[in-house]
Amino acid sequence: MWLWQSYNVCIFSSRKVIFEKQWIYLDNAIGKHYGTTFEITAGGNLQTKKNEIAAAEPKEAGADNRNIVDDGKSQKLTRDDIEALKEKGIKGQEIVQQLIENSTTFRDKTEFAQEKYIKKKKKKYEANISIVKPSTRILAMMYYAREPGKICQLRYDTLAQMLTLGNIHAGSQVIVMETCAGLLLGSVMERMGGYGSVIQMYPGTGPVRAATDCFGFPKSFYKTLYEFPLSKVESLISGTFSAHRSVHAEQDSVQGDEESNGSNAEKQEPAQDIEEDSSPATEAESTVNSNQPENQEEMEVTGEENNEKGQNLEKKQIAMEKKRKQDERRKREAEAAVLLQNKNADGHPLIHPMCLVFQPLLECYTKLRERGGVINLKLSETWLRNYQVLPDRSHPKLVMSGGGGYLLYGITVARETAKPNIRCPEKTEEPAPKKLKVAELES
Amino acid sequence: MWLWQSYNVCIFSSRKVIFEKQWIYLDNAIGKHYGTTFEITAGGNLQTKKNEIAAAEPKEAGADNRNIVDDGKSQKLTRDDIEALKEKGIKGQEIVQQLIENSTTFRDKTEFAQEKYIKKKKKKYEANISIVKPSTRILAMMYYAREPGKICQLRYDTLAQMLTLGNIHAGSQVIVMETCAGLLLGSVMERMGGYGSVIQMYPGTGPVRAATDCFGFPKSFYKTLYEFPLSKVESLISGTFSAHRSVHAEQDSVQGDEESNGSNAEKQEPAQDIEEDSSPATEAESTVNSNQPENQEEMEVTGEENNEKGQNLEKKQIAMEKKRKQDERRKREAEAAVLLQNKNADGHPLIHPMCLVFQPLLECYTKLRERGGVINLKLSETWLRNYQVLPDRSHPKLVMSGGGGYLLYGITVARETAKPNIRCPEKTEEPAPKKLKVAELES
Amino acid sequence: MSFVEYREPIQDGDTAIVFLGHDSMFPVTIKQGGQTQTKYGVIRHSTDLIGKKYGSKVTCSKGGWVYILYPTPELWTMNLPHRTQILYSTDISMITMMLELKPGSVVCESGTGSGSLSHAIIRTVAPTGHLYTVEFHQQRAEKAIEEFQQHKVDHLVRVKNQDVCKTGFGVSHIADAVFLDIPSPWEAIGHAKDALKIEGGRVCSFSPCIEQVQRTCLALTEHGFTEINTLEILLRVYDVRGINLPVPDFGTPAEEKSSDADKSKQLPASQPGTAHFKSGVSPREMVGHTGYLTFATKSLF
Amino acid sequence: MSFVEYREPIQDGDTAIVFLGHDSMFPVTIKQGGQTQTKYGVIRHSTDLIGKKYGSKVTCSKGGWVYILYPTPELWTMNLPHRTQILYSTDISMITMMLELKPGSVVCESGTGSGSLSHAIIRTVAPTGHLYTVEFHQQRAEKAIEEFQQHKVDHLVRVKNQDVCKTGFGVSHIADAVFLDIPSPWEAIGHAKDALKIEGGRVCSFSPCIEQVQRTCLALTEHGFTEINTLEILLRVYDVRGINLPVPDFGTPAEEKSSDADKSKQLPASQPGTAHFKSGVSPREMVGHTGYLTFATKSLF
């Protein structure tokens, strides 16, 4: 379930939520249809509201603003007056109306200026919310508007392109590696509708799925979802992978050594090897100063079930449950490993890392070109413009996004000398096919 | 004088020019006003044409194109028919009219499609030209449309910004260093209107002014224009500069050594030192794969006078003239050196290199920040969108420029420890002022 | 081969993409005994293609080689025979997300055009959804039906040859989403509303001109649609290439000539060098406009 | 100090810009005995500013320091008191070039507004050109006159308080260029034509809404203007900063652990590193629209 205020949406799972600094009680919303609009009353309760189309249209307007003298005295209602109205439980809409009536300059303003005035005041005093169904559209726009840092500023149109260019559909076999709070993973799962399989590759101690869990997928969807730690990729490739080593023991050692991080730009290289060999992969690279704090909150893979079962269990039961989950987890990891090993590297699939900054993708591009096995590589960016369309007042929105991330994508094909096998040695950097180089130069 | 066909313009200085593969005789244009439109007749002569507003508007149009079957047979006139019309000296406008009448599908096309059809045919068969006065607008748009490679793809809006952000105006003292065929230099000179002074710093053997000379400036403007070779910058800074050493002797040695070029990215550094110390400078850096072929054509500084005098001189006279010019040149170089040494590095002026690729400006930015003495540094790019505005058919143009170059600009101020003197040692890389660093981090 | 399900290997009757290099490719229908001409020579379907894996490298008769690719809707968009102006993948990706399409969605579309968007919709709504597409141009409607059969997706789509502005989509209250790409979309908003499910759904209209958008937005408001939002999306593809920049030669102070070799600058006179690096260069020209996308929601109320 | 001529040093009566750091600055009028408060403390005009060079670093009473900058039209645009929406330097640069302004040009402008464009025009047409600017709002017109005097450019400009749509610019056949930034520019096209020189000139109209542009283009066509061209220019300023990207840890094959130190990869298990580099990051938000610029030429015929 979702709260919607323009593009300001937030999640709730209890009957009481805090939103834009106000407590809201949701009891009145239960049983209503998705899309219903509510007004928030003084006490924080919800009251169903009929969608009013173009309410309070200004009637009288000046031709221009030549007679307006800005002396800050045009509003006769004082701040105290307005507070008093609010405390009396007067609705936002009425407060706005009173503000208009008490403005000495409103009638002299142009229609355009009146509109702006009303819009501003409405936003300030009217508190309407709608409850809408979650979807990739809703979640991607919400995260971009409210918490862009959590999703590496992955703009919704860039996400849309990843899904389309990646040919994500029911029955696909997809690898997702992202640091976007699980938003990309969720959108991939939505497009697959429970058909096919998704393997989430994760850095650190566990997969992040905060946004994924917001989609409200049926339980069956999670049966097609696997996870595999990045830190075991080398052992998987070398054939020494075993799912039975303790996950947690390894994690501790990782965290212990983190103080002595070396900084070597060359180290990025293996990231690309992974993408290539495990295609079809949809990869969103980590970006600006992301220290991946999400990775620290140990995500529960079986979190869905948790909500229903976990409430009244005693300590022993909790421990047993934990053991059961750990076993479950190892089993799934082993299954993921099998899926990864059987994956066909060649054919139609696309790979495309997304990054907010340009340089890493430039390096990625160069490395992939050198390695071969990928054709029609493109490095691109999209511009998104939103429009205000109103009679006699149409123009692009005054504020736009400066950047939604860069995208690198291509098509994997058979590599020259290596067999299409995940265990082939990727250390041998092969020269790109000659013909391809010519084609590249021609461009 | 200029030929104008949409944005397709070209220069001529004789009475016969070749344009779009056709010879045009300009005799009929002489004495006409700038802005006159001519039609080119079959023989290549010009014939004055009245500006027709919205000629040949389609009258009858289909509501949509559902009944159009594209079988390639809709035009009843054959290629031979059209050639025959042309040979008979039938004007372009009439040919287009005949094409419309002989099209079986024209009447069924939508108004939009009809419009497109007419436009296409007009462009093919009607040959109208206008003769317009040269200006920065005309030249910048022409070069960008027809010879972008010669001006490092410097788009006209980027050029416009350089002039405005550089505060170029009458009375300015400006240093220009560019590899844009002299377009930037010319536009700076236009904005200065003969007041103030311009020093063109040039790499290679001589300054490039192919585009500059197209502005048709009065002779007096060239008295404010000086040039100084980049290769003497070090000696100027160290105080060992002498204008009396032979220019040509040095050039020979330069060319002789060019085979043994080292390639060291670090070498770019001094370029920035120059920009800084010789502010106010308007600098367009050389870009993509530019081997500066223009530098090889030894430009004549006194080319203006050449046109008038040089025709009937005998060999001896030519030699004397050459000597005179060489002396003149050395004198101007010495004057430029004095101007450079007296230049005040601090105060209001701005510097801004332009570059088609991003990375060099990023390095420039970093170096300048480290060095100090420049505030409010900005690295930017503009997007330019052209619109079609027609009743019921308004939209952005279907083709747009993908990039017009990046711009780096800032304001020079007093440097911490060094005196505002061109001879101060620039090799001491000073730490940027502390406060400034904080401001930068805050952003 | 099917556009909605990946199947190996290459079989008789498949549609495949022959990739020649750098954006140069074309579709081919695989036929036992058939052959295809390329600039690198002939490809013989029976021996060179059938039974091979998609993504394979195929050597042509003249010794040159090509890749054979599995047809995705996106590759199809790049290679389909144009019967109209088509929608490209940048707009398509936005339409798909903003209409909230997913497996099981029921979608109404008009016009079918060259089928570029249709293929992408079918891919996304398969295996449980359906596309109802309406095209007023008879020849185009027939060609689309043919292509859907050839691409083995005909069970997921119904094509009708009629005018959506006059007779609508021919279905009522079953669609999750409606897409309009017609000259006067405002005349079809009522039909779009009728096609959408009672409980609501999303609508999108694509128009090149702002005047069309203005009328459509007005019609959407009049029909009670909410969340009306118009946007435009543009793609800039960078050209990745090596750059050589000449390093300027500033000369050397006269008295220091050939004396102090390891100076901090190390820039011997008359030896201009070159700086090399990789860069993404913005293209000189790009698509500046395809159309405005207007989205809206039909709510229950 | 004058906006059209650089003069040293700082003098009593000058308008100067106090620069505090990173886009934070404000204009100040220098007064013998005057003082200015900043967050770094007080600046005393007589001792700290007068007689100093522009571009100097000035230490404030609390020990912090600021720069004193020479006022250019562009710095003025960033710091002027807003009486209206103003034009910024990106649009101004395009207007200046496309109107072909240079020393000696005669320009008509309406409305004067906050004088942002006026200052830039005066700078460019000085010392031999002139600006005729018309503002229908009396208070604004008076304030503009005051500012032009203060900035020592009043000899280059004449301000009139009238409605350009009704009474035009008050001059005939003397302008090389006309600029309109008014709600209904189409009503002033006739007056613009009248103001332009007989032999022709350029006109520009700035409008936020496309409907204004449509009517203006129609009026321009009706009045015989040619080369009618509408464009829009947007500025994207990159944020240059250092980026740290974590390098993923792919672990090590078990049997090779702590055996082969100088392997080609050199990625010891459980030691994820970080990649550092400088980058220009596109801003999250930027100005998405200011207005459409419509240019046209009046020819002799």
Assign domain D15-71 one CATH number from 3.10.330.20, 3.30.230.10, 3.40.50.150, 3.40.50.300: 3.10.330.20
What are the sequence ranges of the domains in chain C? Answer: 15-71, 75-234+288-298
Q: Are C182 and C165 in contact (CB under 8 A)?
A: yes
CA triple C286-C217-B67, angle to 5 deg: 70
CA–CA gap between residue C113 and residue C173 (Å, rounded): 24
Q: Which of B137, B387, B414 sits opposite D231 (nearest CB)?
A: B387
Q: Which chains border B (3 or more CB–CB pairs < 8 Å)?
A: C, D
Positive or negative CA dihedral for B268, B272, B278, B282? positive
* C123 vs A169, A195, A375: nearest CB: A169
Can you give the pLDDT at residue A256? Answer: 34
Are A161 and A407 spatial neighbours (Cβ–Cβ below 8 Å)? Answer: yes
* Residues β-bridged to residue B16: B25
Interchain contact A428–D (C-beta under 8 A): no
Percentage of chain A surpassing pLDDT 90? Answer: 25
**What's chain B's length in residues?**
443
- Closest alpha carbon within chain C to A163: C93
A375 contacts on C by Cβ (under 8 Å):
19, 21, 67
Per-residue b or e along B356-392, where b marks 16 or more CB atoms closer than 10 Å to that residue's CB: bbbbbbbbbbebbbebbbbbbbbbbbbbbbbbbbbee
DSSP code string of B100-146: HHTBSSGGGS-HHHHHHHHHHHHHHH--EEE-----HHHHHHHHHHH
Considering only CB atoms, which chain B residues are within 8 Å of C255? 238, 240
| A427·D279 Cβ contact <8 A | no
Residue A53 pLDDT > 60: no
φ, ψ for residue B227, nearest 5 deg: -135, 150
Residues C255, C259, C263, C265: is their CA dihedral positive or negative?
positive
The amino acid occupying position A361 is: L
C4/C71 Cα distance (integer angstroms): 10
| pLDDT of res. C275 | 84
Helices B136-146 and B183-192, packing angle to 10 deg: 170
Does residue D209 contact residue A394 with C-beta atoms inside 8 Å? yes
Q: Which residue has the tokens 């400088």?
A: D278
Above 80 in pLDDT, residue D184?
yes
Chain C touched by B269 (CB under 8 Å): yes
Contact C181, C111 (CB under 8 A): yes
Q: Give the β-pairing of A128-131 and A173-177.
A: unpaired
Q: Would you call D250 and A267 a contact, using CB atoms and an 8 Å cutoff?
A: no
| Predicted pLDDT at A112 | 64
Residues B427, C289: C-beta atoms closer than 8 Å: no
Element housing A403 (H / E) = none
- Domains of chain B by residue range: 2-130, 150-251+269-301+328-376
Compute the Cα dihedral for B272, B278, B283, B287 and give only its sign. negative
| Shortest alpha-carbon distance between residue B7 and chain D (Å) | 10
Residue D259 DSSP code: T
Strands A374-388 and A8-11: unpaired
Q: Which helix (H) or strand (E) holds B161?
A: helix B156-165
Bridge partner list, C57: C67
The mean per-residue pLDDT over the stretch B155-183 comes to 93
Cβ contact A38:A29 at 8 Å: yes
CA angle, residues A91, A93, A97, in degrees to nearest 5 = 115
Angle of CA points B333, B336, B342, to nearest 5° = 145
Task: Tell me the C-alpha distance between B391 and B399, whole Å.
Answer: 20
**Is residue D266 exposed (0-12), middle (13-18) or buried (19+ Cβ within 10 Å)?**
middle
Please, are residues A227 and A202 in contact by the beta-carbon 8 Å criterion? yes
Q: Distance between CA B379 and CA A403 in Å, rounded?
A: 15
| Residue B306 contacts C where some CB pair is shorter than 8 Å | no
Please tell me whether the peptide bond between A280 and the residue prior to it is cis, using omega within 30 degrees of 0.
Answer: yes
More confident residue, A17 or A398: A398
Write the DSSP assignment of A240-308 as a string of letters. Answer: ---TTS-HHHHHHHHHHHGGG----GGGGHHHHHHHHHT-SEEEB---TT---GGGGS---TTHHHHHH
D252–chain A Cβ distance below 8 A for any pair? yes
The whole-number average pLDDT for the span B160-165 is 94
Residue B302 — pLDDT band, cuts 50, 70, 90?
Answer: very low
CA distance C301 to C226: 10
Judging contacts by C-beta atoms under 8 Å, the chain B residues touching residue D210 are 389, 394
Whether D260 has its CB under 8 Å from any CB of chain A: the answer is no
CB contact under 8 A, A394 and D210: yes
Neighbours of chain A (3+ CB pairs under 8 A): C, D
- Which residues in chain A touch residue C229, judged by CB atoms under 8 angstroms apart? 386
Shortest distance between the Cα of D239 and any Cα of chain A, in A, equals 11
B83-122 b/e (C-beta count within 10 Å ≥ 16 → b)? eebeeeebbbbebbbbbbeebebbebbbbbbbbebbeebb
Model confidence at A394, pLDDT cuts 50, 70, 90, reads: very high
CA dihedral in degrees (D205, D207, D212, D214; nearest 10)?
A: 60
CA separation for the pair D220, C49 (Å, rounded): 62
In sequence order, what are the beta bridge partners of C298? Answer: C201
Grade residue B103 by pLDDT with cuts at 50, 70 and 90: confident
Q: Measured between CB atoms, does C82 come within 8 Å of chain B? A: no
Give the pLDDT score at A282. 36
User: Residue B250 has what pLDDT?
Assistant: 40
Closest of B33, B11, B34 to residue B24, by C-alpha = B11
Residues A300 and D301: their CA atoms lie apart, in Å, by 78
What is the CB-side half-sphere exposure of residue A389 using CA atoms within 13 A?
A: 27
Average pLDDT over residues D61-86: 92
Instruction: Measure CA A112 to chain center.
Output: 35
Q: Which residues of D touch B195 (CB under 8 A)?
A: 103, 127
Q: Which residues contact D165 (CB under 8 A, 6 or more apart)?
A: D182, D184, D187, D188, D191
Q: Kindly identify which residue of chain B lies nearest to residue D198, measuring between CA atoms.
A: B33
Handedness of CA A187, A188, A194, A197 (dihedral sign): negative
CA distances from B129 to B49, B248, B271 (A): 9, 44, 43
pLDDT digits (tens, 9 = 90+) for A70-129: 566 677 778 788 778 777 777 777 777 778 777 777 766 666 677 777 777 777 776 777
Hey, is the C-beta of B136 within 8 angstroms of any chain D C-beta?
yes
D169 exposure class (CB count in 10 Å sphere: 0-12, 13-18, 19+): buried
* Cβ-contact D107, D131 below 8 angstroms: yes
The alpha carbon of residue B122 and the mean position of all alpha carbons in its chain are separated, in whole angstroms, by 29
Percent of chain C with pLDDT over 90: 78
Average pLDDT for chain C: 91
Q: Quickly state the pLDDT bin for C79 (edges 50, 70, 90).
A: very high
Nearest CA to CA, how far is B154 from chain D (Å)? 14
Does A370 contact C at CB distance below 8 Å? no
pLDDT digits (tens, 9 = 90+) for D87-105: 999 999 999 999 999 999 9
Interface of D with B in 179-238 (CB under 8 A): 199-200, 210, 213-214, 217-218, 221, 224, 226, 228-238
Q: Flag whether residue D152 sits within 8 Å of chain B, measured between CB atoms.
A: no
Chain C residues in contact with A279 by the CB 8 A cut-off are: none
Q: What is the pLDDT of residue B427?
A: 33
* Token representation of residue B224: 């404010």
Find residues 118-137 of chain C whose CB sits inside 8 Å of chain A: 120, 123-124, 126-128
Cβ neighbors of B396 (< 8 A, separation 6 or more) are: B385, B386, B387, B388, C232, C288, C289
Residue A219 has pLDDT above 50, yes or no: yes
**CA–CA separation, B78 vs B90, rounded Å?**
16
Establish if B421 touches chain D: CB-CB under 8 angstroms.
no
Contact assessment for residue B388 and residue B161, using Cβ atoms and an 8 Å cutoff? no
B14 pLDDT band (50/70/90 cuts)?
low
Check CB contact of A193 with chain C, cutoff 8 Å: yes
Do the Cβ atoms of A233 and D183 come within 8 Å?
Answer: no
D32 contacts chain B (CB < 8 A): no
**pLDDT for res A433:** 37
**CA dihedral of residues D260, D265, D269, D271 (deg, nearest 10):** 130
CB C15, CB C27: distance < 8 Å: yes
> What whole-number distance in Å separates Cα of residue A156 and Cα of residue C95?
12
Average pLDDT over residues A259-280: 33
| Closest CA relative to residue B411, chosen from B377, B434, B440 | B377
According to the CATH classification, is domain B150-251+269-301+328-376 in 3.40.50? yes
Average pLDDT over residues A306-329: 67
B248 and C CB contact within 8 Å: no
**Nearest-CB residue to A235 (from D234, D254, D286):** D254
Question: A220: buried, middle or exposed (CB in 10 Å: 19+, 13-18, 0-12)?
Answer: exposed
Mean pLDDT of B53-67: 50
Window 32-61 of A: residues touching C by CB (8 A cutoff) are 33-36, 50-51, 53-54
**Cβ within 8 Å, pair C280-A362:** yes
What are the beta bridge partners of residue D109?
Answer: D133, D179
Distances (CA, A) of B35 to B45, B130, B416: 17, 6, 54
Q: Do C236 and A380 touch (CB under 8 A)?
A: yes
- Give me the pLDDT at residue B182, please: 95
CATH superfamily of D75-234+288-298: Vaccinia Virus protein VP39 (3.40.50.150)
Please state the ipTM of this predicted complex: 0.84
